[in-house]
Amino acid sequence: MTSETARIEAFSDGVFAIAITLLILEIRVPRPADGPLGVQLMRQWPSYVSFMISFCFIGIMWVNHHRLFNHIRRSDNLLMLFNLLLLLGVTFVPFPTSVLAAHLGQADQRLACVFYGGTYFAIAIFFNLLWRYASSPGRRLMDHGADAKGIEAITRQYALGPVAYLACIALAWVSVSASLAANFALACFFALPPKMER
CA distances, 165 to each of 10, 51, 56 (Å) = 28, 19, 16
Confidence (pLDDT) at 2: 55
What is the Cα–Cα distance from 90 to 76, expressed in whole angstroms? 21
Assigned domain for 174 exists: yes
CB-neighbour burial class of residue 73 (10 A; exposed 0-12, middle 13-18, buried 19+): middle
Domain count, the chain: 1
Domain with 53, as residue range(s), is: 6-197
142 has which bridge partners? 72
Q: Is residue 117 within 8 Å of 175, Cβ to Cβ?
A: no
What predicted TM-score, i.e. pTM, was given to this entire model?
A: 0.86
For residue range 115-169, list pLDDT tens digits in order. 999 999 999 999 999 999 998 877 778 776 667 788 888 888 899 999 999 999 9
User: Is residue 197 pLDDT above 60, yes or no?
Assistant: no
Nearest by Cα to 197 from 86, 12, 69, 64: 64
pLDDT averaged over the chain? 88
Question: Is residue 167 included in any domain, yes or no?
Answer: yes
Tell me whether residue 1 is in a domain. Answer: no
